[in-house]
Structure 1
Amino acid sequence: MTPAPTLTTSRLILRGPQKRDLAPFTKWLTESERMDQLGGNDTVGNAWRGFLAGIGHWNWHGYGFFTVTERRTGVATGRVGILNHVEWPQPELAWHMFDGFEGRSYAFEAACAVRDWAGRTLGLEPLISLIAPGNTRSLALATRLGCVEEGREMVQDEAVIMFRHLRHDDPRAEAQAAGAIA
């Protein structure tokens, strides 16, 4: 369905979106309390349109959100990938875990794998992340990944903090990837 490669880490498989991923994505977008950090819950129709836009993103750019699944169970746990929407200042490493899968370091593990892939394969680096000031989990993850705050901006009428990621070949990023990638 997409040109997405499959990335494997010690606990996860990252793959392109599949039809079966629409249900957990829709549930997260329409019901999760954590959507407050992203502007609030949305509708089923907008979830469907957003999911299809994600597939189109892969076809347009050659990169996008990977569906993050547990290797052991195959269950979809969230999405991590690279976005570059028309309003974005540059490609962004972005993440969100579905309800019940936070706090397991899945986002960290997947982000390390995506950062490594984006640098080695696509030459996209150093990437940015745009994070709402109140999104404490994402702010903590950016810090753990070694990101540096570059400034505060307005993107799509939302205040965000722009963080700069390590290059994939920075020794700190290589050490993180070695610990995450199988």
Structure 2
Amino acid sequence: MNNSPKPSGSATLTTPRLLLRPLTGDDFDDYAAMLADPEVADGLAEPVADPWRSLATFIGHREIRGYSHWALEERGTGAFVGRAGPWRPHGFPGLGVGWCLARAHWGKGYASEAARAALAYCFEALDAPGVVSLILPGNARSAAVAERIGHRHLRDTAYRGRRVHVYGRRRPG
């Protein structure tokens, strides 16, 4: 792990329709309900057998790296939408941006909105030269989000025993 300064782990971002704030233990019920939906779970590059451990992993990642996925809330209602943000656990093939939304919020453009904010954060706050996203073959919705944020399919690889598509892009400019 490098010793470069870490960004603030408590960063909060806003987009026109979303609040991106640090995940907390208070998000567990909504988070677990989202992951209990088989259609949501089937699209994840990392299978989630235990939602508590998954949530704790994102919170711990923030403590170790200084950044992690944020909880996504609708600004108008405060409803839990999902999670999105930067991510680089041990063994990941680069700094990543990921997203996972509760199915009730699919088709509203929230994934692209949150992913764009997360990508900008990676380039601006984390000074990343490039960012990747891992997407399961057949997950057309996530592939479309990746393409909307300027990612292109770079290659396929194995990650945690699963074949995944690696989408990514370099820093603009």
TM-score by length of 2: 0.89
> Is residue 7 of structure 1 aligned with residue 13 of structure 2?
yes
Tell me how far 1:54 sits from its aligned partner. Answer: 0.9
Aligned residues of 1:78 and 1:97 also touching (Cα < 8 A):
yes
- Partner of residue 155, structure 1: 159
Residue aligned with 1:152, SS: strand
- 1:11-54: CA deviation from partner (whole Å, max 9, x where unpaired): 111000122211111012123423123379755xx111111111
Measure the CA separation in 2 of the matches of 1:42 and 1:93. 18
Measure the CA separation in 1 of the matches of 2:70 and 2:47. 21
| Of 88, 106, 111, the match for 2:115 | 111
TM-score by length of 1: 0.84
- Partner of residue 138, structure 1: 142
Measure the CA separation in 2 of the matches of 1:22 and 1:49. 10
Measure the CA separation in 2 of the matches of 1:39 and 1:66. 18
TM superposition outliers: structure 1 runs of 4+ over 3 Å: 39-43
Structure with greater helix percent: 1
> Is residue 99 of structure 1 aligned with residue 109 of structure 2?
no
Measure the CA separation in 2 of the matches of 1:156 and 1:73. 37
Q: Identity of counterpart residues, as a percentage?
A: 31
Measure the CA separation in 2 of the matches of 1:145 and 1:35. 22
Structure 1 residue ranges without an equivalent (≥5):
171-182
Q: 1:85 is aligned with what amino acid?
A: P
Residue aligned with 1:134, SS: coil
- After superposition, where does 1:171-182 map in structure 2 within 5 Å? none
| Of 44, 47, 51, the match for 1:38 | 44
Structure 2 residue ranges without an equivalent (≥5):
1-7
Residue aligned with 2:72, SS: strand
Cα RMSD (Å) of the superposition?
A: 1.9
Q: 1:8 is aligned with what amino acid?
A: T
Tell me how far 1:118 sits from its aligned partner. Answer: 1.5
- 1:84-122: CA deviation from partner (whole Å, max 9, x where unpaired): 111211111000111200110011111111111121111
Measure the CA separation in 2 of the matches of 1:107 and 1:39. 16
